[in-house]
Amino acid sequence: MKTFKDAGHLFRLAAVFLVGVAAFLIVRSLLVPRSFGRYGHYRADAIAEIAALPVAYAGHQVCEGCHSEVQEVKSKGVHKGVACESCHGPQAKHAEDPASGVPPKLDTAVLCVRCHQENIAKPKGFPQVNAADHSGGAACDTCHKPHSPAMTGGGSQ
């Protein structure tokens, strides 16, 4: 076969090229994660990794599993729509192991004004007070019980 003179260097060049392509494919298969491209141009395993992160807020359904007596009181008052951890903070650890990490007693003078301090931007129907004028410095739970804040004995809410 004498179609081309000195064709040998073409074959050598082709061999170098093929080795390069093979090396590229091997390196690529080592570097690209296996799950890359399963759903799109991203690593599909990342979805499961994010889904497996731990939870800090247990959810009010979990709280109510044990503290049904509080749920009973709360369901009759205006705070029925307020979740437990809205005031008590994240309690997933306490839910897993009730003995450890008992939630601290809350200071109502700090807690209640977060929502109920007067502010012009709040919806008009929302109960708001100027805390200093309203209670004269007394803690809110002197008169209102946080789980069902309506006052008994003829007082206004």
Partner 1 sequence: MNITRRQLLILLPAAALAWEHVLAGTPEASPNYTMSEHWWGMLIDITKCIGCGSCVRACQLENHVPDGYYRTWVERYHIEDWKAENPKVDSPDGGKNGFPLLKETGGKNFFVPKLCNHCAESPCTQVCPVGATFVTPDGVVLVDQKYCLGCRYCVQACPYGCRFINPATETANKCSLCYHRITKGLTTACCEVCPTGTRQLADLKNPNDPIHEFLRTHSVQVLKPQMATRSKCFYYGLDGSVR
Nearer to partner 1, 79 or 147 (CB): 79
* Residue choice 74, 85, 94, 95 for contact with partner 1 (CB under 8 A): 85
Number of Cβ within 10 Å of residue 91's Cβ equals 21
CB of 92 to partner 1, least distance (A): 9
Q: How far apart are CA 1 and CA 36, in angstroms?
A: 47
**117 scored as a contact of partner 1 (CB under 8 A):** yes
**67 scored as a contact of partner 1 (CB under 8 A):** no
* Residue choice 3, 100, 119, 142 for contact with partner 1 (CB under 8 A): 119
| Stretch 15-44: interaction string toward partner 1, x if CB under 8 A | --------------------xx-xxxxxx-
Q: Which of 146, 149, 116, 122 is nearest to 134 (CA)?
A: 116
CB of 90 to partner 1, least distance (A): 5
CB of 44 to partner 1, least distance (A): 8
* Residue choice 11, 30, 68, 126 for contact with partner 1 (CB under 8 A): 126
**78 scored as a contact of partner 1 (CB under 8 A):** no
- 3-state SS, the chain, equals CCCCCCCHHHHHHHHHHHHHHHHHHHHHHHHCCCCECCCCCCECHHHHHHHCCCCCCCCHHHHHHHCHHHHHHHCCCHHHHCCHHHHHCCCHHHHHCCCCCCCCCCCHHHHHHHHHECCCCCCCCCCCECHHHHHCCCCHHHCCECCECCCCCCCCC
CB of 47 to partner 1, least distance (A): 6
Binding residues for partner 1 (CB under 8 A) = 35-36, 38-43, 46-57, 59-60, 79, 81-83, 85-86, 89-90, 113-115, 117-123, 126
